[in-house]
Amino acid sequence: MNIPSILLLILILLLIFCERATRRRSGLITLFFAIILTLGGASCKKTAQSVLSDPKKPVEVLLPEKGAYIGAFIDFGDEEDDVTVETIEEFESMVGKHQAIIASSSYWGEQDFPTANLNVIWRHGSMPLVFWSPWDRPYEQNRGPDKFSLTAIVEGKWDAYINQWADGARAFGQPMIVAFGNEMNGDWFPWSGWYYGADNSSDDKPDQWEGPEHFKEAYRYVVDRVRARGASNIKWMFHTNNYSYPQDTWNFAATYYPGANYVDWLGLSVYGQQFKDEALPNIPSLVDWPYEEISRLDPKTPIMIAEWATGEFPHSGDKGAWIRDGLDLFRTRYPRIKAAVYWHERWQNRDQTYSNLRVNSSVGALNAYRNGIAHPNWIGDLILRPVGDAK
Tens of pLDDT along 325-376?
999 999 999 999 999 999 999 988 888 888 999 999 999 999 999 999 999 9
Where does residue 50 rank: exposed (0-12), middle (13-18), buried (19+ CB within 10 A)?
A: exposed
| Dist CA 349 CA 357 (whole Å) | 13
Per DSSP (E only), the strands in the chain are 59-62, 68-73, 101-107, 127-133, 176-180, 234-241, 265-271, 303-309, 337-343, 346-348, 354-356, 378-379, 383-386
| Dist CA 73 CA 52 (whole Å) | 25
Helix 210-228 to helix 159-172 angle (10° resolution) is 50
Q: Which residue has the higher pLDDT, 27 or 71?
A: 71
Are the CB atoms for 118 and 81 separated by under 8 Å?
no
Among candidate residues 190, 203, 214, 96, the one with its CA nearest the CA of residue 142? 190
| Dist CA 76 CA 82 (whole Å) | 5
What is the reported pLDDT for 390?
A: 57
Tallying the residues shown for the chain, one arrives at 391
Give the chain's count of helices (H) and strands (E). 11, 13
pLDDT bracket for residue 55 (50, 70, 90): low
What is the reported pLDDT for 236?
A: 98
What is the reported pLDDT for 139?
A: 94
| Dist CA 146 CA 135 (whole Å) | 7
User: Rounded to the nearest 5 degrees, what angle is found at the Cα of 331, between the Cα atoms of 326 and 333?
Assistant: 85
Are the CB atoms for 214 and 196 separated by under 8 Å?
yes
| Dist CA 172 CA 203 (whole Å) | 46
Rounded mean pLDDT, 9-35:
42
User: Distance from CA of residue 210 to its chain's centroid?
Assistant: 30
Tens of pLDDT along 171-197?
999 999 999 999 999 999 999 999 998
Residue 140 scores a pLDDT above 90: yes
What is the reported pLDDT for 188?
A: 97
| Dist CA 200 CA 193 (whole Å) | 10
Tens of pLDDT along 196-249?
988 876 555 667 899 999 999 999 999 999 999 999 999 999 999 999 999 999
Among candidate residues 177, 251, 263, 261, the one with its CA nearest the CA of residue 214? 251
Q: Which amino acid is at 287?
A: V
SS (H, E, C) 205-238: CCCCCHHHHHHHHHHHHHHHHHHHCCCCCEEEEE
For the domain 58-386, what is the CATH code?
3.20.20.80
pLDDT bracket for residue 277 (50, 70, 90): confident
What is the reported pLDDT for 80?
A: 87
Are the CB atoms for 370 and 378 separated by under 8 Å?
no
Q: Which residue has the higher pLDDT, 292 or 353?
A: 292
Residue 36 scores a pLDDT above 60: no
> Could you state, in order of their start, the residue ranges of all structural domains in the chain?
3-51, 58-386
| Dist CA 164 CA 104 (whole Å) | 19
Are the CB atoms for 226 and 163 separated by under 8 Å?
no
Give Cβ neighbours of residue 364 (< 8 Å, ≥ 6 apart). Answer: 318, 319, 320
What is the reported pLDDT for 256?
A: 97
| Dist CA 159 CA 117 (whole Å) | 23
Backbone angles phi, psi at 127, to 5 degrees: -95, 130
Look over the chain and give the mean of its residue pLDDT values, rounded to a whole number: 87
| Dist CA 72 CA 344 (whole Å) | 7
Rounded mean pLDDT, 103-118:
97
Where does residue 321 rank: exposed (0-12), middle (13-18), buried (19+ CB within 10 A)?
A: middle
- Residue 162: how many CB atoms within 10 A of its CB? 22
Q: Which residue has the higher pLDDT, 373 or 1?
A: 373
